[in-house]
Structure 1
Amino acid sequence: MRKPLVAALFALVIAGAGAAPAVAAPAPEAAPARTAASAGASGTRAAPAVQAVSLAGTVALSNCSGSVIRFPNSADTDPALVLSNGHCLETGFPEPGEVIVGQASNRSFSLLNSRGSRVATLRASKVAYSTMTDTDITIYQLTTTYATIRSAYGISALTVQNTHPTAGTAITVASGYWKRLYNCSIDGFVYRLKEGDWTWKDSVRYTSACNTIGGTSGSPVIDQATGKVVAVNNTGNEDGERCTVNNPCEVDASGNVTVRQGINYAEETYQIPACFTTGNKLNLAASGCVLPKP
């Protein structure tokens, strides 16, 4: 997560340009928002066989990455949803404690196929939910349905897993902005991740192979064994500073602070499905919904 979206974030992308995207990226409409860059290194275990994880279903925003998502109980006729970060919201970063629900939006998204080619432009009808409190997510409702997207473009939405991810899981961070895949594993989980004025709960820490760069904010983190979304990519410690913007720190249950320069993180998404009911309607009062409320 990066506060100065033009200056610091653009500088970050330039600094990270040494790792060229797998497919040439288009010129950005705006400075890409920063995301996780590289993550911890602990534990090794054999990864399960990798599914054919690709860029299909990911989207490129003007300054971030994202994906078309559905939940286990979503219907093909439901309005489709796009997941990105709270700090990618076009109206600016939500303040600590702020939750945005039902905000009008006509934001556009470039829908990508498995090769990273744009096959369509999708458009939002509203911001269904956005916050940077406890987590870092924005969920847009689109003007079209899953069935229409699949029929017209052959692209299916990515399903959000509704159970907690597991340490050691082989994952892929799929960036629609850069049209690039990053493969690594979940190194572990962070009790509290603090960056500037924001605090996130139970964050995912990557192993170092996911050396993501600016513009990958909002990328889906995909379990390679199931193909399901288990988190959304959002930040990393750039300079080794303690708990400052661009330099999140880990805080354990006893209040001990750990700084891991070069380590990158994501926010879990398993809590989201319980908050969306029939017709993909947001219901923050639904049983099992623990997302922050306005």
Structure 2
Amino acid sequence: MNKPLAGAVLSLLLTGAAATPAVAQASTPQQAAAVTYAGTVALSNCSGSVVRTPASQPDDPALVLSNGHCLETGFPAAGEVLVNQASSRSFSLLNASGSKVATLRASKIAYGTMTDTDVSLYQLTKTYAQIQSQYGIAALTLNDTHPVQGSSIKVVSGYWKRTYSCSVDGFVYRLKEGDWTWKDSVRYTSSCNTIGGTSGSPVIDTTTGKVVAVNNTGNEDGQRCTDNNPCEVDQAGNVTVRQGINYAQETYVLVPCIGPGNQIDLNRPGCTLPKP
């Protein structure tokens, strides 16, 4: 994983954070959307963003997207799924320039897992309308279709206030890391060289401005399928290791599972997320 930060690695990561931000490999589309820090959040150990589905309403309780491995309860075991668990976790809400404008608070972990995907959704105590009126920040919209290979993307870290620019290099049938296996993961081109603390960052399509994935891991040492060293497994079972390459989990799969009132409903038509 682009692991949550711990004291033992903080100084090392601070040194890495001072490096020059990566540049995009592809040319910027003529109609590119403006991608800023607005709507991103910083967790205690990770990054995240305030998100909505295309059907979310202004008076719905807002949602924060991050990784399952960023949960305050620790890494969910393989096969473990959390739904509607009480939480009072706080999040630092950022504006376009990356300045903190508010502290948001969760009412619950709406959904969290590291099985098939690596995702957490927190429900907040404020609605989208309240966040917009009080702080002038609009939620990012989850794209409801599969990402496209070759598209230009930005990984926007609220924790580091740093943006990585690259493209979708391709998709991985199965991405295996330690005890966990993720399906149909996004593989970045090499310039998205994300680090610890970027876990949970929204991956934003620079043409639409919509969230297409959530940043979660990378192969650090060239090892095969171990913690912090995910490997790619194709449909025939062949294993590929790409040291220094990073990955994300698609978020369009979340949209069918979020019903009226932004409530998680794993029995909705089209919802394929793992159930408890």
Superposition TM-score tier, normalisation by shorter sequence: over 0.9
Per-residue CA deviation, residues 100-126 of structure 1 (Å, 9 max, x unaligned), is 001110000000000000000000000
Which residue of 145, 154, 159 corresponds with 2:127? 145
Aligned partner of residue 271 in structure 1, secondary structure: helix
Task: Tell me, yes or no, if the aligned pair for 2:3 and 2:217 is still in contact at 8 Å.
Answer: no
Q: Report what 2:49 is aligned to.
A: 67
* TM-score of the two chains, using structure 2 as the length reference: 0.94
C-alpha spacing 1:150/1:199, structure 2 compared with 1 (3 Å):
same
Deviation beyond 6 Å, 4+ runs, structure 1: none
Gaps of 5+ in 1: 22-37, 39-43
Q: Percent identity?
A: 71
Task: Tell me, yes or no, if the aligned pair for 1:174 and 1:219 is still in contact at 8 Å.
Answer: yes
Is residue 250 from structure 1 mapped to residue 232 from structure 2 by the alignment?
yes
Which residue of 241, 254, 274 corresponds with 2:223? 241
Q: Report what 2:157 is aligned to.
A: 175
Q: How far apart, in 2, do the equivalents of 1:76 and 1:241 lie?
A: 46
Q: Report what 1:189 is aligned to.
A: 171
Q: Report what 1:160 is aligned to.
A: 142
| Aligned-residue CA RMSD (Å) | 1.8
Aligned partner of residue 156 in structure 1, secondary structure: coil
Q: Report what 1:259 is aligned to.
A: 241
Which residue of 165, 189, 207 corresponds with 2:189? 207
Q: Report what 2:75 is aligned to.
A: 93
Q: Report what 1:279 is aligned to.
A: 261
Task: Return the offset for 1:19.
Answer: 1.7
Task: Return the offset for 1:16.
Answer: 2.6
Task: Return the offset for 1:48.
Answer: 2.2
Q: How far apart, in 1, do the equivalents of 2:26 and 2:5 lie?
A: 38
Task: Tell me, yes or no, if the aligned pair for 1:188 and 1:206 is still in contact at 8 Å.
Answer: yes
> Amino acid of the residue matched to residue 235 of structure 1?
T
Per-residue CA deviation, residues 20-61 of structure 1 (Å, 9 max, x unaligned), is 67xxxxxxxxxxxxxxxx9xxxxx865523321000000000
C-alpha spacing 1:53/1:17, structure 2 compared with 1 (3 Å):
closer
Aligned partner of residue 148 in structure 1, secondary structure: helix
Task: Return the offset for 1:169.
Answer: 0.5
Task: Tell me, yes or no, if the aligned pair for 2:111 and 2:121 is still in contact at 8 Å.
Answer: yes
Task: Return the offset for 1:6.
Answer: 3.0
Task: Return the offset for 1:15.
Answer: 6.1
Task: Return the offset for 1:10.
Answer: 3.8
Q: Report what 2:6 is aligned to.
A: 6
Alignment of 1:116-131 (within 5 A): 116-131=98-113
